[in-house]
Amino acid sequence: MATNSLRIIPLGGLGEIGRNMMLIEYGDDIIVVDVGLMFPEEEMLGVDLVIPDFTYLREHRDRLRAVFLTHGHEDHVGALPYFFREFKAPVYSARLTDGLIRVKLNEHRLLQNAETHVVTPGEIITAGVFEVEFFTVAHSIPDACGLIIKTPLGQLVHTGDFKLDHTPVMDQHTDLIRLAQVGAEGCLLLMADSTYAEQEGYTPSEQLVGEALRTIFVNAQGRVIVATFASLISRVQLVIDAAVFTGRKVFVTGRSMIDNVAMARQLGYINAPDGVIVGVEEMRNLPPAKLAIVTTGSQGEPTSALTRMANGDHRHVTILKGDTIVLSSSPVPGNEQAVYRNVDNLFRLGADVLYNRVSNIHVRGHASREELKIIQGLVQPEYFMPIHGEYRHLVVHAKLAESVGVPKGNAFVLTDGDVLEIDEDSAWLGDRVPASYVYVDGLGIGDVDQHILRDRAHLSTDGVVVVMVQVDKQTGALERPAEILARGFVDVEEREDLVERTKQVVANSLKGGKHYAEFADINTRIRDAVSKFLYDETRRRPMVLTVTVEV
């Protein structure tokens, strides 16, 4: 179905946060922007990751020309190992992003499918009919970029994740001048980050955090322990700066933090004077006032270094009275309980804890409403499509765009699988393409479905009861009392009475002397009788499984 319209196909990140992925199609050519993963929501029990649905691309794999990555966060690149298991394509990204994904693809032995290229902002990549140019944006990881995509119908702007930061720590501004040029030339479609479209005003500069950290470091009598995202390289730089300023050494802990700091120093993204970063032995010999620690665990991840410290089982760091702990982050929705449990436990150990509710020690990496208006003013697109956000973020972002000049009806709120079609005259929503949640659970990709999740939810609520019966092959009569196993339901040793009466219920359910040829019937009878009995007795509904043996 090659057409002469331009087709914008979001497969992730629209109507939800994470697993950002978009296809842009014209005629026989498809380019991919980002291939991210999403962390499972509460009700996706036991699921490890959620990745985009590649069905449409699978059906049109001959059209795939190239993959473009805006930046190195997991929600934009994390599904690449699953993608390159099936597809082959050149991948374009800026230097740090390329470094991060090469490590990841190499681990999965998939580098040969990917053919990665480092792109310099301003450089133009041709992929089929498309010409793609990267431009710099400020975000919470170095080398973040947006894309200007020339198509036969006009040029598109895709902001990636961004904010405006006039004093960024890693020296990378959002390239407003280039965006103004695109606006002057004419922009067919703007696609812009909606993550903080609810937030009034401006997102503060990363520099602000630097000032707050310096004040904390100056005033702390003991150790300062800073937890943040391992990918937030600029924040680590600020901690090192504050440590140098106050004559402290820095100990780095947490697997991903250690790896990222090493990688960032090697590539020149972190600047630490010789001897500032110390190992375990040297750390042990330093007085508390001469030490700072950078750690993972700002989201309360159960096996992270900070959580181990909070639980008193970190190998090298024991929290002491006099420690100042800084959570330089805000909890990602869904992580609040885990984050605040750590805060509570750290307070219990006698530390002073500074966190987002009581201190100004984190700024976000996404643009707030006034910044979004500036982008609209510079780019002045004909059509607008909010990207990256829950559905409500997209709606308020679309309203914002209309309030500052996008013609009414030209702002399109899509969700994953919707297709925005644009031709020379107009734009409209075409037929949807598949965009289901694809769950990764252990080695299984896509084999966990709603049915399995429903069973897990049922099991999680009231547990499971297994009833095993032996019946006479001829008469269907019970050969001996049923055996009952229960897990997650009641303590069967304390409720022997309930077990005995359940056995009686099983026996009664099979009475009648009739021959039951059908095992299904026996099983259904037993299950119904036992379920009803247990509900009446306990007001709980365990999953009842029956096993029948003919003897």
Could you list the active site residues? 193, 366
Distance, in Å, from the CA atom of 269 to the CA atom of 263, rounded to the nearest integer, reads 8
3-class secondary structure for 389-453? EEHHHHHHHHHHHHHCCCCCCCECCCCCCCCEEECCCCEEECCCCCCCCEEEECCEECCCCHHHH
Site string for a copy of itself, 273-292 (x = CB under 8 A): --------------------
Query: What torsion, rounded to 10 degrees, do the Cα atoms 489, 491, 494, 495 define?
Result: 20
Give the Å distances, CA to CA, from 66 to 88, 95, 114, 199, 346. Answer: 9, 17, 9, 34, 48
Instruction: Confirm or reject binding of residue 258 to a copy of itself (CB under 8 A).
Output: no
| Distance of closest approach, residue 412 Cβ to a copy of itself, in angstroms | 14
Binder among 122, 152, 186, 334 for a copy of itself (CB under 8 A):
334
To a copy of itself, the closest distance from the beta carbon of 343 in angstroms equals: 5
| Dihedral over alpha carbons 319, 324, 330, 336 (to 10 degrees) | 40
> Using the rule CB under 8 A, is 539 a contact of a copy of itself?
yes
Amino acid at 48: D
Structure tokens at 328: 């330089």
Which residues, numbered 172-231, are part of the site for a copy of itself (CB under 8 A)? 198-199
Among 230, 250, 490, 522, binds a copy of itself (CB under 8 A): 490
Number of chain positions touching a copy of itself (CB under 8 A): 67
Q: Which residues contact 162 (CB under 8 A, 6 or more apart)?
A: 137, 138, 139, 144, 146, 174, 193, 366, 367
Structure tokens at 244: 């140098």
Is residue 432 near a copy of itself by the rule CB under 8 A? no
Closer CB to a copy of itself, residue 33 or residue 197? 197
Q: Which is nearer to a copy of itself, 153 or 492 (CB)?
A: 492
Q: DSSP alpha helices (H): ranges in 323-363?
A: 336-348
Binding of residue 353 to a copy of itself (CB under 8 A): yes
Q: By CB under 8 A, tell whether 529 contacts a copy of itself.
A: no
Partners of 173 in the β-ladder: none
Per CB under 8 A, which region of 26-34, 114-122, 128-136, 532-540 contacts a copy of itself?
A: 532-540
State how far the Cα of 440 lies from the Cα of 97, in Å rounded to an integer: 23
By the rule CB under 8 A, 443 interacts with a copy of itself: yes
Site for a copy of itself contains 481 (CB under 8 A)? no
Q: Looking at 103, 218, 262, 358, which residue binds a copy of itself (CB under 8 A)?
A: 358
d(CA 62, CA 67): 14
HSE-up (13 A, CA, CB side) for residue 285: 4
Q: Does 489 bind a copy of itself (CB under 8 A)?
A: yes
Which among 91-99, 154-162, 213-221, 386-394 is the span making contact with a copy of itself, rule CB under 8 A?
A: 386-394
Task: Compare residues 42 and 425 and give the one whose CB is closer to a copy of itself.
Answer: 42
The minimum distance between CB 472 and a copy of itself, in angstroms, equals: 13
39 in Cβ contact with 19 (< 8 Å):
no
Interface residue with a copy of itself among 265, 289, 488, 525 (CB under 8 A) is 488
55, 215, 436, 470: which one binds a copy of itself (CB under 8 A): 470
Question: Going by DSSP bridges, is the β-strand pair 189-193/154-158 parallel, antiparallel, or unpaired?
Answer: parallel
Q: Compute the distance between CA of residue 112 and CA of residue 131 in angstroms, rounded to an integer.
A: 24
Q: Which is nearer to a copy of itself, 284 or 357 (CB)?
A: 357
- Residue of 395, 445, 477, 507 interacting with a copy of itself (CB under 8 A): 395
Q: Which residues bind a copy of itself (CB under 8 A)?
A: 15, 41-42, 45-46, 198-199, 333-334, 336-337, 340, 343-345, 347-348, 353, 355, 357-358, 390-392, 395-396, 441-444, 447-449, 451-453, 455-464, 466, 468, 470, 483, 485, 487-491, 494-495, 537-540, 543, 545, 547, 549, 551
